[in-house]
Structure 1
Amino acid sequence: MADRSKSSSGRDVRLDMFRGLANWAIFVDHIPNNAVAWLTTRNYGFSDAADLFVFISGYTATFVYSRYMRASGFLVSTSLIYGRVWQIYVAHVLLLVAYLAAIGFVAQSYGHSHLLDEFNVRHLLDDPIETLKHGLLLEFKPLNLDVLPLYIVIMVAFPLALWAMIRRPNVTLAASFALYVTARSLGWNLPSYPSGNWYFNPFAWQFLFVIGAWAASGGADRLQPLLRSKAVIGIAGVYLLFSLLIAMAARFPELANVLPVSLLSAFPNDKTNLGPYRILHFLALAVVVVHCVPKEWAGLQSPILRPAIVCGKRSLEVFCVGVFLSFAGHLLFESVSMSLAFQSLVSSGGIAIMTGVAYYRTWTVSLRSNSSSSSAVASAS
């Protein structure tokens, strides 16, 4: 029987669903003091939606572009990858300009000057030309605009990584791990403007991207017997419970007081350099989720999950809209109400808008596809 969770191209629908859910979670998490964020994984372990987003990006990029590299060679696939990089870069620049304009307008017109510092945009007023220049160079990043620059940098290096992954997947994974360890040991990172370093260290986060690429290159299939064993699933479950305990202790002093200080200090929130316990938490979560949500799960065909799947397929557009909406949500919280009912309304409304954008983009893409097919038929007749 055919795998109903896959599209006609063989794409695993679960990837789109979870990336769509990750986009929703990132939007909700980006709104400060949002009680709805308690529904996301960020509060219950070491990893969060960003880890999921990067891993799936590595998986899907390898799934898509490895076919071109095998069929058409390195140059053709590199050209296609860099075409995608250009799309992501243009999306980032447009988002950056719109983001800066919105924050500056609200801060100056409505007396919310604190937003300039809170969203790291005050330097734009002090030196706009220099700030915009560094913004185009991916060095200046306002609050919540860190993910796309990370993705751009990783994708720039992706053609070589993909070429190596097709030929020596295990060696490529080992090299990526070596870079991860070296970067963490020597403090490698890229500089930010006007000071500091990147919030998502690309030398560290590339490892999670490459793990996704390795899984898509057959690594996940080779590990299936091991991942399905009760022992591995049990170990993963125990680690998830342990990370839940540490995460709750970080949020509730009453629990932290009964745990050893040395235990809590051993697991700081090292998101910038992708702490190894974050990777282990994500992989443990992936083992349990894949076990509970197999490819043939009938629920993947449910209309309830369809919005998340569509958002996952139109991930770039949905992510950009979500980042902008998170600022709007923060402003609404400050200006209107911080009640749970209003937070729920804003959060659900934002997800609805993101979903609407995904459906609209899917519709416009289908229109272009149908138009191209019609033109081809007309030319042939």
Structure 2
Amino acid sequence: MTSIADRIAGPPLAAEAGVIAGDAAQAVPVPAISLPVAGERELRLDLFRGLALWLIFIDHLPPNLLTWLTIRNYGFSDATEIFIFISGYTAAFVYGRAMREAGFVVATARILRRVWQIYVAHVFLFTIFLAEISYVATSFENPLYSEEMGIMDFLKEPDVTIVQALLLRFRPVNMDVLPLYIVLMLFLPVILWLMKRSADLTLALSVMLYAATWEFDLYLSAYPNGVWVFNPFAWQLLFVFGAWCAQGGAKRMSRILSSPITLWISFGYLLFAFLVTLTWYWPQLSHLMPRRLEQWMYPISKTDLDVLRFAHFLALAAVTVRFLPKDWRGLKSPWLRPLILCGQHSLEIFCLGVFLAFAGHFLLAELSGGAGLHFVISISGILIMSAAAWLFSWYKHSADKNAPRTKGGGGNADMAGGGA
């Protein structure tokens, strides 16, 4: 039986929940959002990006009890919006400073270096992921693994498929976020150059491109057929919006974010989205949805970043900024340390999460353990990701201790919560 939820375009993928970077207002005169000072990490960015990585992993597993804890079940947006926004914010914060201090050419070189790092990580992830799936499918004589993970075309024409993968046009299941981020980062030098002259004009141009995407059906094709799961022409709006916030836009919005009217509008929209999503999982409630409202809303496209998804993210962000100040003591809590560490090493943890998700999928398909096994596999994956993040952090701090200090900092996007 097909419910309204099936009309929502795009698979339940990637990067989920987390929210914005900015500072909540302590009092009305105090800006709701301010930029971190040089060298200071914005721990809220790390926290929500780490949470997003955990939720991505859970959402990539077959449905289980923990799946109901992810935010995609309670509104229109999911972790992807949070991930891309934070990526745009942190990239603009780090490389925007490099562009102001070192110039366009040096900043562009640093950005392209970061793009290369992400591209190499994507190729590595693609290679190991294919090897993992192929080995399991062959060893257990179950071709369904290859079909479910979207690598049947690779097994038929490996030479052609590898070339298409290097061009970012072929991607197995769960590997759509990094190609999107690579493309967006490629255009970051131009975005920052424009923002240096007029941040508001740059955001307006981004909105115009977003509108043109819907009006003229702009897209990038995928191999062997179809389009990119995340259309860069549409998703650039969220990335540019994050960059705009980092370049002073958030500070200019502080009075709006501090307003009680904004808070109540956000709460109202989040409640509306929650009530709509209830009809996706309980079809018997669908008769409560007015027919004209359904015709106007659906399909809520994830591929083209439907405006309802964008608005839902903004509402979540406004509420989070209001109630989670930058100096919240909980950010220093040891209980949140695993989340923050995962957020600080997001590229490595994302890749690890893709491997663990398939391993969990395999175990659940071969063993019949019910809800208990689902829970154990989900928690085990989170613990492995947290342990890996701790190991990466320990190694980085050890290396930093022994490395000579350089003047000026290099434009590493892991600063202030950057990264993939």
TM-score band (shorter)? Answer: over 0.9
The code of the aligned residue for 2:155 comes to: L
- Residue 107 (structure 1) aligned to one of 132, 137, 161: 137
Equivalences, count:
373
**Alpha-carbon deviation of 1:6?**
6.6
Q: 1:317 to 1:75 in 2, by over 3 A?
A: same
TM-score of the superposed pair, with normalisation by structure 1:
0.94
1:317 equivalenced with 2:336 (yes/no): no
**Alpha-carbon deviation of 1:148?**
0.2
Identify the range of structure 1 (246-255 vs 82-91) with the bigger mean alpha-carbon deviation: 246-255
Distance 2:44 2:306 in 1: 26
CA contact (8 A) 2:300 2:308 kept: no
**Alpha-carbon deviation of 1:7?**
8.6
Q: 1:93 to 1:62 in 2, by over 3 A?
A: same
How do 1:343-362 and structure 2 match up within 5 A? 343-362=374-393
Runs (4+) of structure 1 exceeding 6 A deviation are 5-8
- The aligned counterpart of 2:10 is none
- Residue 183 (structure 1) aligned to one of 203, 213, 221: 213
Distance 2:211 2:333 in 1: 42
Q: Deviations over 1:329-365 (max 9, x none)?
A: 1111111235222111111111111111111111122
- The aligned counterpart of 2:181 is 151
How do 1:321-332 and structure 2 match up within 5 A? 321-332=352-363
Distance 2:86 2:380 in 1: 26
The code of the aligned residue for 2:176 comes to: D
How do 1:1-381 and structure 2 match up within 5 A? 9-265=39-295, 266-337=297-368, 339-373=370-404
Partner SS, residue 373 of structure 1: coil
The code of the aligned residue for 1:19 comes to: R
Q: Deviations over 1:93-133 (max 9, x none)?
A: 00001111111111111022112111110011111000011
Q: 1:152 to 1:347 in 2, by over 3 A?
A: same
Distance 1:338 1:191 in 2: 40
CA contact (8 A) 1:68 1:77 kept: yes
CA contact (8 A) 2:95 2:107 kept: yes
Partner SS, residue 399 of structure 2: helix
Distance 1:177 1:43 in 2: 28
Distance 1:293 1:41 in 2: 18
The code of the aligned residue for 1:44 comes to: Y
Distance 1:367 1:286 in 2: 35
Distance 1:274 1:81 in 2: 25
Distance 1:38 1:216 in 2: 32
Q: Deviations over 1:256-312 (max 9, x none)?
A: 122223323414231000000000000000001111111121111111111111111
Q: Which consecutive unaligned segments of at least 5 residues does structure 2 have?
A: 1-32, 407-420
CA contact (8 A) 2:36 2:42 kept: yes
Partner SS, residue 226 of structure 2: coil
Distance 1:231 1:94 in 2: 48
Q: Identity of counterpart residues, as a percentage?
A: 47
Distance 1:104 1:35 in 2: 29
